[in-house]
Chains A and B, each alone.
Chain A
Amino acid sequence: MKHATLKIWRGVAGEAGGFETYSVAFEPGQSVLDGLRALRAEVDPTLAVRFSCINANACKECVILIDGKSAYACTTRLEAREMTLEPLRNKPWIRDLVSDIAPPAERLLPPNKGTKV
């Protein structure tokens, strides 16, 4: 087993957010989403992350910023180093790694002008 250090943006829209750092054990080949799911089940169930298809890169929901670049958590592999995970900067932020990514016409409410990270 190797270990990745995940520096993750935490917080709720309307309040101040900040980074928290976690260590995740992984088998080579596993994805960042694998790491986030393990983190939720083993360490902190309050961590908000959105995904649907888990591994197929079909739902496109798990897009976040990984080391500053927009990427899918399900197709980016974990590495034995510090990796910085943040919500998208160009979408309204909701909580932790989750932003309001639905097309505007498919939202219940008009896009909240809320906090961006």
Chain B
Amino acid sequence: MHLVTDVLVIGSGGAGMYAAIAAARAGAAVTLIDRSLIGRGGATVMAQMTVACALGAETPDHWTHHLADTLAAGRGLCDATLARILCEEGIECVRELDGWNVGWARENGRMKQVTAPGHDRPRCVYVDFLDTGPAVARTLRTRVIRSDTIRRIGDLAVTDLAVRGGECAGAVALHLVSGEIVTLAAKATVLATGGLTRLYRRNSASANMGGDGYAIALRAGATLTDMEFVQFFPIGHLAPRLIGMDPIMWDPFRYKLGGRLLDGSMREFTERYGVTEGGRYVLARDVATHAILKEVEAGRGSPHGGVYLSFEHCSAEALRAAFGPVIDRLAGNGIDLTRMPVEVAPIAHYHMGGLRVDATMQTCVAGLYAAGEAVGGANGANRLSGNAITEALAFGRRAGSHAAARAARSSAHGWTDRAAEPAIARVRSEAAAAPQINLPHAIVELQALMADEVGPLRSAGKLAHALARMAALRDATGAQPPHAGGFDVRRLDWLDLDNMLLAAEAVARSALARTESRGAHQREDYPDTREDWRVNQLVRLRDGALAIERVPVADAPAESVTLA
């Protein structure tokens, strides 16, 4: 089957849906596709609480202050242009969502804003109770449905882009329900495929965030940046087993109630890493992740290999006032926070790296745009709490309007069947090509490898070993997917593993090359941050092999507007 559209948006999380809305608003015919259900896959729907933007509703604020905090958190590696777009345009997006009745928490009519670690003032809006992500996804989905010019197609997994003469002409996709290959011609294409947290054993994102967008982009000739910087969320839920709740759900508890981080002997430990919390939530994500893992390594962890998080000092009434029905869901899991601590440990949460784009969100492949977490650079070496949804909204909106402008300028599609031939050949399966290995097991093996050797604590030895194991897994996976029909999960597993291995290799090679420690990238053999490493690393696929290049940081001095 062949479909034709002006703007193709791949991925229907917050960034993809906002891109579709913006492109349709600019007059383009849009096709919005997702490998899962529209508006339900990806990371947006999983967001628990904070969306950072300098509204100034709580205290006087200006986006330049948000920008200064974002650049500081990024440890010197942010692309200042992208960070500025996030901080400046995020405000309009948050207001637009407010107009679409997303339901930002309010007090006496004004939007409530809380302080998150790394922000100099209360700056994060949210939807109670832990409903920020679902509310944002629901609101954008409603707007998408109301548009007559956005066609929505779920269960459609893009396998590659079609590139002709250096320009993106559309995509090749696998229709999961029927097993058929679908080609899509587009004048402009937006990749809003999210990050790569599925590469890790414990992660907080959906199963469809396996870095497929990065692998697809590399094969299309696009450039990735900052791939070594994977953010671990320090206090992901570890034990007791909790179902029906996202493992990052303790963050909102810390925003509202502080909470105490304790080692295995129930003693506070963050002072050993230079930070006194004093019942407040001030610990940055990279510092907290490092501290918790070092405690566990020193034998001072909790029984399941993390640390304790305690709200035992809070009254039942205070907990109920702050979290309402969530307290009942915890009770259903046998957890009473007034009487027991929980165990938490770092969990793969977000990818700072991603596609390198210009201020129009276009990659170096003409006609190929990126939005949301798929984009690299805005957050440097460490992302500030609350910037992910803001980035999804601001980058999505911008990518959609620029993609529509390109489509309006293009008189004809660049599609030729020939441009799609290599992509179709890759996905076409032969009965004889059935792999000899259990693919879901190989994915589990890769996730363990990434967690243990390409995780928050790295060394040359671990990284080299990981790269060797990845090469062996690639050999075992074979060159072609297994034969398939409707919803044959083996073919999807093969495509996923193939993409995951390429994304994983990009992370490991970038990490091996960066012989210093900075933000989310911590090398045990190079523990210091070095000024001569204040550079971005770009990754490209050249003749089938990954090539890494160092470039100066595209920064600009942060000048904050003085507030009255």
Contact = CB atoms under 8 A, between A and B. Distances in A.
A and B: bona fide binding partners: yes
A57 B332 CA distance: 14
Contacts of B154: 102, 106-107
B272 interface: no
Contacts of B40: 52, 58-61
A107 B46 contact: no
B177 A41 contact: no
Contact of A55 (B245, B485, B487): B245
B486 A95 contact: yes
A41 B438 contact: yes
B155 interface: yes
11 contacts: A41-B443, A45-B439, A46-B489, A52-B37, A52-B208, A54-B206, A59-B206, A74-B244, A106-B37, A106-B154, A108-B1
B182 interface: yes
Nearest to A92: B177
B454 interface: no
B153 A58 contact: no
A59 B153 CA distance: 16
B486 A12 contact: yes
Main secondary structure of the interface of B (DSSP, over half): loop
Given A42-B441, A52-B36, A57 B244 contact: yes
A85 interface: no
Contact of B486 (A13, A47, A58, A101): A13
Nearest to A56: B246
A29 B153 contact: no
Query: What does DSSP make chain A's interface, helix, strand, loop or mixed?
Result: loop
Nearest to B145: A105
B246 A58 contact: yes
Contacts of B178: 108-109
A42 B240 CA distance: 24
Interface string A89-117: 00000111010111101111100100000
A28 B175 CA distance: 37
Contacts of A57: 243-245
Interface string B112-137: 00000000000000000000011000
B244 A56 contact: yes
Given A47-B489, A54-B207, 18 more contacts: A31-B243, A40-B440, A52-B36, A52-B37, A52-B207, A53-B45, A53-B46, A56-B46, A56-B245, A57-B243, A59-B45, A74-B244, A98-B487, A102-B155, A103-B38, A107-B177, A108-B182, A109-B175
Given A55-B244, A58-B134, A12 B485 contact: yes
Given A29-B241, A53-B207, A108-B182, A59 B1 contact: no
A27 interface: yes
Contact of A41 (B152, B206, B441, B488): B441
A41 B241 CA distance: 20
A77 interface: yes
B156 interface: yes
A48 interface: yes
Interface in B33-47: 36-38, 40-41, 45-46
Q: Which 4 pairs of residues, A with B, have the shortest CB-CB distance?
A: A29-B241, A56-B246, A75-B244, A41-B440
Given A13-B486, A75-B244, A52 B153 contact: no
A61 B37 contact: yes
A71 to B, nearest CB: 11
B177 A53 contact: no
B70 to A, nearest CB: 27
B238 to A, nearest CB: 12
Contacts of B207: 51-54
Contacts of B38: 102-103, 106
B336 interface: no
Contacts of A46: 488-490
A45 B490 contact: yes
Interface in A11-65: 12-13, 27-31, 37, 40-42, 45-61
B247 interface: yes
Contacts of B240: 29
B177 A52 contact: no
A27 B208 CA distance: 26
A59 B438 contact: no
Interface in B10-49: 36-38, 40-41, 45-46
The listed residue with most B CB atoms (<10 A of its CB), out of A45, A61, A101, is A45
A88 to B, nearest CB: 14
A109 B177 contact: yes
A86 B441 CA distance: 24
Interface string B427-445: 0000000000011110110
Contacts of A103: 38
B89 interface: no
B490 to A, nearest CB: 6
Contact of A95 (B156, B242, B487): B487
A82 B441 CA distance: 25
A29 B304 CA distance: 15
B156 A108 contact: yes
